[in-house]
Amino acid sequence: LMDWNPDFRKLGMEGLVMLINGPTEARAAVRKLVKDGIEWVKTYPTGDAAAPDVNDHHTLCMTFEEMHAVVQTAHNHNLKVTGHCRATAGIKNALLAGYDALEHGTFIDDETLDLLLQRDVPVVPALYFELASVERGPEFGLPQRVIDGHQETLEGGAESARRILRAGGRLGMGGDYGFAWNPHGDYAKELAFFVSYVLIVDGDVVADIAILQERQRFLAVMQGGVVKAGQYAR
């Protein structure tokens, strides 16, 4: 995903990504990162709407064996692993490989959702980037195919986030910033996708924020005044 430019252009990706082919190179890459003192390893198991010609959002960019090698090596050194996971098969592979978190989780199905809940892995939908790409893409010259792809991932990602929340899963706030059409400093806009939700818990979260780690305390999740999930929804 991160190296779709032909080699003859000699653009280089040094400092942004490490390209690997096979489990052996995957392990070597993680060990290099261990030496550099990182805490999290981010991988790209799937493609993205930004690369519709070769690695779109339904494409796998890593094999399960490569992903498992990354996790084994990272966990051996007490590091955590996350990944850019849009395609359903990529989400499933990440969960089976032992990922500690998922970015996007765009096209989650019933089987993958069950696995996500079993492992209690948090997902960061990062939806505002999709909206910004759709709304401001023309202004910055994004091809229509790319914009259409972001529209699909916006709709798919929003639906997956709703499903995860309704099922009692964990969602994280964060996103893809640093683009001209979605600059750094606008992080609070990510919350705009979730402000219509109200969470009612048993306890005082101001006094003890750790209460939010106890799912049994979630009494209700409300959207538009309607209870959508939680104990009160039963």
CATH number at residue 121: 3.20.20.140
Q: What is the pLDDT along the chain (234 residues), one digit of tens a residue?
A: 566 667 777 766 666 788 899 999 999 999 999 999 999 999 999 999 888 888 889 999 999 999 999 999 999 999 999 999 999 999 999 999 999 999 999 999 999 999 999 999 999 999 999 999 999 999 999 999 999 999 999 999 989 998 998 898 999 988 899 999 999 988 888 876 666 556 677 887 778 878 777 878 877 766 555 666 666 666
d(CA 114, CA 109) in angstroms, rounded, equals 9
Is 60 in the same domain as 156?
yes
d(CA 60, CA 138) in angstroms, rounded, equals 27
d(CA 232, CA 44) in angstroms, rounded, equals 39
Is 30 in the same domain as 136?
yes
Bridge-partner residues for 46, per DSSP?
60
Query: At 222, which amino acid appears?
Result: M
Q: What is the pLDDT of residue 199?
A: 66
Residue 149 lies in a domain: yes
Sequence-ordered strand ranges (E) for the chain: 40-43, 80-85, 102-104, 123-124, 197-201, 218-223, 226-229
What letter does residue 230 receive in the DSSP assignment? S
Helix (DSSP H) and strand (DSSP E) numbers for the chain: 6, 7
Is 187 in the same domain as 217?
no
Is 181 in the same domain as 224?
no
Residue 134 lies in a domain: yes
Question: What is the crossing angle of helices 144-166 and 128-136, to 10°?
Answer: 150
d(CA 214, CA 170) in angstroms, rounded, equals 11
* Contact indicator for 113, 167 with CB cutoff of 8 Å: yes
Query: At 117, which amino acid appears?
Result: L
Q: What is the pLDDT of residue 165?
A: 87
d(CA 136, CA 105) in angstroms, rounded, equals 23
Q: Supply the range of the domain harboring residue 229.
A: 196-234
Residue 2 lies in a domain: no
* Contact indicator for 159, 123 with CB cutoff of 8 Å: no
Residue 86 lies in a domain: yes
Q: What is the pLDDT of residue 108?
A: 97
Is 234 in the same domain as 156?
no
Is 206 in the same domain as 182?
no
Q: Given the DSSP bridges, would you call strands 226-229 and 218-223 parallel, antiparallel or unpaired?
A: antiparallel
